[in-house]
């Protein structure tokens, strides 16, 4: 592993930006209809419960990345295979996020630019910052979280004073009952993005204050969950439920409606820059987590020789993941969440924790 350390504030910055990711821009939780904001809050609560599974595993092996932790629990060979599956999963999620950013840029500001040019540029910058190391990623996140918050405050201010908001569009509360809210929570908002934070178990050994992991992780989930829930309320209040369901990037449409004094308008750039920052850091963390895992699994001396090959794989995946953006979204909701995210982010960590707990009980009895 790289001989480096990151501070508590840097870890929080990375976690907060990671959770916002693409969830800030897409129709997050819209299957719960007008109660999307409630589904996000419940998903936030579910994310905290899932975190405690990760945290209890981390406490048993605080100096090891998650891939090494798996081998300690289920054995060398099965653990190695599962570790490789997690590395490939992190890489795939990174490619999906890069595709999201590329498609947003194509639909909003650069319609005549090839998707490959956008994805290639972003991946090259990600490869460069990963080459510089985790400390540089942490320090950069510390700076960019301030810029991100300033953009968010500005965007919210302009939307709130624009006169386009009608909070009655969020009512009635629980119009379709609890079923769609709970279904959306369990199958979607709890897993994306809060469950995806499992990748941070690859970075926790770098933290200079491991005793503060619990506070940082929980606070990052709560703060980002509140931001995502408020964003859903804001989008619904401006666009209404029918427009939200049809829209690919509702936050972009919400900001696009701002027109103050025939002077302050065309604020789409705020959304584009926001997504650029969130996707950049989320993909960087996912790719870096993949590289830590591969270094651990294949006993490499450094992650630097594999940066470029991994970057090429990410570019290839982001281009071939789907033939269109609608297919990309459908694949994410119908296949990735059900058959990859739920088993890998919830079921398997829970099984690992139970196995670990049973083994510890048997050891105590033997002694």
Tens-digit pLDDT profile for residues 115-140: 999 999 999 999 999 999 999 999 99
The answer to whether residue 121 sits within a structural domain is yes
3-state helix, strand, coil in the chain (%, to 5): 80, 0, 20
Overall average pLDDT of the 225-238 stretch = 94
Helix (H) or strand (E) holding 306: none
pLDDT of 283 over the 80 cut:
yes
Number of domains in the chain: 1
pLDDT band at 277 (very low <50, low <70, confident <90, very high): very high
pLDDT of 263 above 80: no
Using one digit for the tens of pLDDT, what is the confidence trace for 169-180? 888 888 888 899
Average pLDDT for residues 327-332, to the nearest whole number? Answer: 85
Question: What CATH number corresponds to the domain at position 177?
Answer: 1.20.1740.10
Read off the pLDDT of each residue in 61-89 and give the average, rounded to a whole number: 93
Q: Establish if 3 belongs to a structural domain.
A: no
Q: Is residue 272 part of a domain?
A: yes
| Any domain includes 1 | no
Is 2 a member of any domain? no
Residue 262 pLDDT: 74
On whether residue 253 sits in a domain, the answer given is yes
pLDDT beyond 70 at 285: yes
Per-residue confidence (pLDDT) for residue 260, from 0 to 100: 79
Q: What confidence score (pLDDT) does residue 1 get?
A: 60
**In the prediction, which pLDDT does 328 show?**
85
- 188-222 pLDDT tens trace: 999 999 999 999 999 999 999 999 999 999 999 99
Q: How confident is the model at residue 79 (pLDDT cuts 50, 70, 90)?
A: very high
- Tokens of residue 1, six digits: 């592993």
Residue-wise pLDDT for 138-177, tens only, equals 999 999 999 999 999 999 998 988 888 888 988 888 888 8
Secondary structure letter of residue 260 according to DSSP: B
Note the residue count of the chain.
367
Among 32-36, 80-84, 100-104, 302-306, which range has the highest average pLDDT? 80-84
Residue 171 has a CB neighbour count (10 Å cut-off) of 10
What's the average model confidence in pLDDT over 302-331? 90
Torsion region of 29: left, alpha or beta (phi above 0 gives left; psi -120 to 50 gives alpha): left
Computed over every residue of the chain, the mean pLDDT equals: 91
Q: Is the pLDDT of residue 187 over 90?
A: no
What span, in angstroms and rounded, lies between the C-alpha atoms of 62 and 245? 43
- Domain of 97 in residue numbering reads as 8-366
């Amino acid at each position: 592993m790289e001989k480096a350390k990151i501070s508590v504030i840097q870890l929080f910055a990375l976690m907060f930006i990671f959770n916002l990711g693409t969830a800030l821009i897409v129709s997050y939780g819209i299957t719960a209809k007008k109660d999307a904001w409630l589904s996000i809050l419940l998903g936030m609560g579910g994310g905290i419960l899932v975190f405690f599974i990760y945290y209890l595993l981390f406490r048993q092996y605080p100096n090891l990345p998650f891939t090494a932790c798996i081998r300690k629990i289920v054995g060398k060979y099965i653990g190695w295979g599962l570790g490789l599956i997690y590395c490939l999963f992190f890489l795939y999620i990174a490619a999906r996020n890069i595709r999201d950013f590329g498609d947003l840029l194509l639909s909003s500001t650069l319609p005549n630019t090839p998707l490959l040019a956008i994805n290639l540029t972003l991946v090259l910058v990600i490869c460069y910052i990963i080459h510089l190391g985790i400390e540089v990623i942490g320090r950069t996140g510390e700076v960019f979280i301030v810029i991100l918050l300033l953009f968010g405050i500005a965007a919210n201010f302009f939307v709130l004073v624009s006169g386009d908001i009608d909070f009655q569009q969020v009512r009635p509360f629980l119009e379709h009952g609890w079923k769609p809210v709970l279904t959306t929570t369990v199958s979607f908002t709890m897993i994306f993005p809060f469950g995806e934070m499992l990748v941070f178990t690859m970075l926790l050994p770098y933290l200079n204050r491991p005793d503060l992991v619990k506070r940082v992780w929980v606070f990052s989930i709560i703060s980002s969950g509140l931001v995502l829930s408020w964003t859903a309320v804001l989008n619904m209040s401006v666009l209404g439920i029918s427009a939200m369901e049809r829209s690919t990037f509702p936050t972009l449409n919400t900001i696009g409606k701002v027109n103050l004094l025939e002077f302050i308008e065309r604020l789409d750039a705020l959304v584009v820059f926001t997504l650029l920052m969130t996707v950049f850091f989320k993909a960087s963390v996912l790719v870096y987590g993949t590289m830590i895992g591969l270094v651990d699994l294949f006993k490499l001396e450094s992650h630097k020789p594999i940066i470029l090959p991994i970057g090429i794989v990410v570019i290839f995946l982001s281009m071939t993941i789907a033939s269109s953006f609608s297919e990309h979204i459908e694949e994410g909701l119908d296949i990735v969440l059900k058959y990859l995210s739920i088993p890998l982010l919830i079921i398997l960590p829970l099984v690992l924790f139970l196995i670990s707990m049973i083994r510890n009980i048997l050891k105590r009895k033997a002694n």
